Amino acid sequence: MSSDSASINRLLLDQFENTLTHLLPKGKKVGNEWRVGGVDGSAGESMQVSMSGATAGRFKDFANPDVKGASPLWLWSKVRNITFSQAVNEAKEWLGVKDEDFGVRKGRAKSYAKPDKAGIRLSQPNSPVMDYMVVTRKIDPIVVAKAMISEVPEGNAICFPFFEADQDGKQVNVHRKYLALDRPEGKKVTWASKGTKRCLYGKNLIDENVSEITICEGEIDSLSLHSWSIPAVSIPNGVADFEWVDVDWEWLARFERINVCMDMDEPGRACALEICKRLGLHRCFIVSLPEKDVNDCLTSGVSRDVMLKCLADAKAIELDEIKKPDDFRKEVCDYYETDPSTVGLETPWSDTLGWRVRRSELTVWSGFSGHGKTVGLNQLMLHLVSQGAKIMDASLEIKPGMTLYNMTRCAIGRKHSPRAEVEACISWLNESMFFLDCIGTVSVTRLLHAMEYARKRHGIDVFVIDSLFKCGLNSEDYGSQREFADKLTTFCNNTGAHVILVAHSRKTSNGNELSAPTKSDVAGSSDLTNAAFNVVIFWRNKNKKIKLDEAKEANNAEEISKWMDQPDGKVIIDKQRFGEGEEGTAMVWFDKESCQFHTHQYKVIPYFSVKPA
């Protein structure tokens, strides 16, 4: 269960009579209502609270019309005479709900630079900046003042200061974004402070009693909404950057409803959908506007009532909507116009394997024990990180520290490195790698909760589960394995993430591993490989070592040379549902120093190197 306020309301409603007894013990149940004298808890029937049905949680004090609301948390705040934000925290404590991270870990918290205090001043009366904000953009001057809109000394660029409350509740400037007044050839010119914390813009303007907020696409859009007295914040860095979700996760948890109001264009719509998925479909609603963006609505004279109706009419997203072929027109045309070999993230063996890591797919990663599955997986994760992907490794057999040792060795490309270089490599990985901090068996339920949390908060692109039989499933319980595979494919479809599930190959009857296994040899239910989009198999050429040892013992230089040129193993794509369903094999050579597999002998890729000072 999520710990955001919408979820807390549901928990309170699930035991609403207990909640009301706790808050208003002198009240009494009369039919479908809880009746009490008022928010002071006195006996009587002046105040009525609906207990069930579509109106559950609504309350009104007929002796005091200002006392009314529509959710248990608002009732809690009125009865306790505290802010809505404080009510959320009190209710969570009473329910025993903790802010769970489900064991998802990364390294040290990111440190941020502080914006340079010099170089800006508050916007001046009748200045070009003030004229632009108030006359051109029609922002309420009181809102401009509250937002502490500033300008550069030359007066030709606006500075939007981003604020965040520190531990003492004091608002601190953590980031700055600039907008030039001049637009060469009609193009906007923007820049921002470097290395600072890119949180949501406008958090300092949101009162502690606000339970519904609107997220929009730009700072001017959010100030436009404030000009209608509508609480709003803005994403900090365009529609493609979602780092703010992690940064503001706890702050956003207090809101019962989030209206997502992006620009009315294709990138805006795509961003709105992703925000809803990340922050929770149960509390996010997509807004449609009568103009291209919020400020266009303000400058064209759209009234506050019309804007409030747009918010009230905002649509929830349903993942299982019934759709018509026209809804998939663009996707179908893209299949025709896109080369399948270019879709997704490259692997270290893409040049000959013909397989990439694509969105919304489940891959079964298999092979005999000791044949290089884990080593190859470490290299694959590094290859994906180097392309900008975020990875969560649920390695239930190997401690995260050992995995990181092997990954840093692979990343740097050698077995021994100075401590400073290793630490720099860990800092590089810290931006993209996350671990499920659990060794041993973990339940499917806990694992999926951790994955859902990590996808929403951190935007994980690829999940690695190592391995199937550390997920609390009996090796003979094929029904549970089939259900697990179904849940994983559903997770992939709903989130767009890629999941790699490690499942060992069965041992041969005679113990001979000289021939590569196939997807039919994957241990467990055949439903695993049936459900998977891809089956990738790692196989080590053990015959090479046997023959090399024999040749060296016989001092046969010709045989030694012959077997040295033989590959150390194969990476096999034994199933691929995408495109034309090609299967293929990559012959690979292994470099012990770097723990890397490559399709060319003696090749090593340094995924990380320390930049010269």
Q: Are 95 and 12 in contact (CB under 8 A)?
A: yes
CA atoms within 13 A on the CB side of 76: 27
What is the model's pLDDT at position 396? Answer: 87
On the question of a cis peptide bond just before residue 467, with omega within 30 degrees of 0, the verdict is yes
**Residue 285: inside a domain, yes or no?**
yes
CA torsion through residues 455, 495, 481, 358, sign: negative
We report the CATH number of the domain holding residue 504 as 3.40.50.300
Q: Measuring CA to CA, which residue among 566, 568, 574 is closest to residue 588?
A: 568
What is the model's pLDDT at position 613? Answer: 59
3-state secondary structure of 282: coil
**Residue 584: inside a domain, yes or no?**
yes
Q: Which residues pair with 434 in a beta bridge?
A: 392
Reported as a single tens digit per residue, the pLDDT across 62-83 is: 988 888 889 999 999 999 999 9
Is residue 96 over pLDDT 60? yes
The DSSP code for 110 is: P
Residues 78 and 151 placed together within one structural domain of the fold: no
The DSSP code for 217 is: S
Residues 453 and 516 placed together within one structural domain of the fold: yes
Residues 166 and 239 placed together within one structural domain of the fold: yes
407 CB neighbour count, 10 Å cutoff: 25
Instruction: Summarize the confidence of residues 310-320 as an average pLDDT.
Output: 84
Residues 381 and 466 placed together within one structural domain of the fold: yes
166: left (phi over 0), alpha (psi -120 to 50) or beta: beta
d(Cα 347, Cα 490) in Å, to the nearest integer? 24
Is residue 318 over pLDDT 80? no
**Residue 448: inside a domain, yes or no?**
yes
Q: What do you get for the CA distance between the two ends of the chain, in Å?
A: 47
The DSSP code for 134 is: I
Instruction: Summarize the confidence of residues 467-490 as an average pLDDT.
Output: 90
Residues 71 and 130 placed together within one structural domain of the fold: no
Residues 160 and 214 placed together within one structural domain of the fold: yes
Is residue 509 over pLDDT 80? no
Three-state SS annotation for 20-50: HHHHCCCCEEECCEEEECCCCCCCCCCEEEE
Q: Which residues pair with 257 in a beta bridge?
A: 212
The two three-digit tokens of residue 318, written as one number:
């349903």
Confidence of residue 104 (pLDDT cuts 50, 70, 90): confident
What is the model's pLDDT at position 320? Answer: 54
Confidence of residue 422 (pLDDT cuts 50, 70, 90): very high
191 CB neighbour count, 10 Å cutoff: 11
**Residue 335: inside a domain, yes or no?**
no
Q: Are 74 and 13 in contact (CB under 8 A)?
A: no
3-state secondary structure of 100: coil
CA torsion through residues 426, 428, 433, 436, sign: positive
Residues 165 and 237 placed together within one structural domain of the fold: yes
**Residue 48: inside a domain, yes or no?**
yes
Q: Which of 95, 113, 129 is at the close of a domain?
A: 95
Average pLDDT of the chain is: 92
303 CB neighbour count, 10 Å cutoff: 10
**Residue 336: inside a domain, yes or no?**
no
Q: Which residues pair with 163 in a beta bridge?
A: 173
Residues 264 and 365 placed together within one structural domain of the fold: no
* pLDDT above 70 coverage of the chain, percent: 98
Q: Which of 39, 61, 95 is at the close of a domain?
A: 95
**Residue 187: inside a domain, yes or no?**
yes
Q: Measuring CA to CA, which residue among 8, 99, 4, 459 is closest to residue 247?
A: 459
Residues 415 and 505 placed together within one structural domain of the fold: yes
Contacts of 466 (CB under 8 A, 6+ apart): 374, 377, 393, 394, 395, 396, 397, 398, 502
Q: How far is CA 412 from the centre of its chain?
A: 28
Instruction: Summarize the confidence of residues 378-400 as an average pLDDT.
Output: 94
Confidence of residue 510 (pLDDT cuts 50, 70, 90): low
Helix (H) or strand (E) segment spanning residue 528: helix 526-531
235 CB neighbour count, 10 Å cutoff: 28
Q: Which residues pair with 505 in a beta bridge?
A: 522
**Residue 340: inside a domain, yes or no?**
no
Q: Measuring CA to CA, which residue among 548, 390, 400, 556 is closest to residue 458?
A: 390
Q: Which of 316, 331, 366 is at the close of a domain?
A: 316
We report the CATH number of the domain holding residue 68 as 3.90.580
The two three-digit tokens of residue 311, written as one number:
């918010």
Confidence of residue 319 (pLDDT cuts 50, 70, 90): low
What is the model's pLDDT at position 439? Answer: 80
Compute CA distances 377 → 63, 153, 413, 467, whole Å: 67, 53, 16, 12
Reported as a single tens digit per residue, the pLDDT across 134-160 is: 999 999 999 999 999 999 999 999 999
What is the model's pLDDT at position 465? Answer: 95
CA torsion through residues 249, 251, 252, 253, sign: positive
What is the model's pLDDT at position 582? Answer: 85
117 CB neighbour count, 10 Å cutoff: 7
The total domain count for the chain is 3
d(Cα 573, Cα 539) in Å, to the nearest integer? 11
Residues 579 and 457 placed together within one structural domain of the fold: yes
Show the beta-strand stretches assigned E in 493-566. Answer: 498-502, 534-540
What is the model's pLDDT at position 356? Answer: 94
CA torsion through residues 412, 415, 419, 423, sign: positive
User: What residue numbers bound the domain in which 132 lies?
Assistant: 121-316
Residues 290 and 355 placed together within one structural domain of the fold: no
Instruction: Summarize the confidence of residues 489-500 as an average pLDDT.
Output: 95
CA atoms within 13 A on the CB side of 514: 7
Residues 416 and 517 placed together within one structural domain of the fold: yes
> pTM of this prediction?
0.84
Instruction: Summarize the confidence of residues 493-506 as an average pLDDT.
Output: 93
The DSSP code for 391 is: E
We report the CATH number of the domain holding residue 289 as 3.40.1360.10
Least confident of 99-108, 428-437, 468-477, 567-576: 99-108
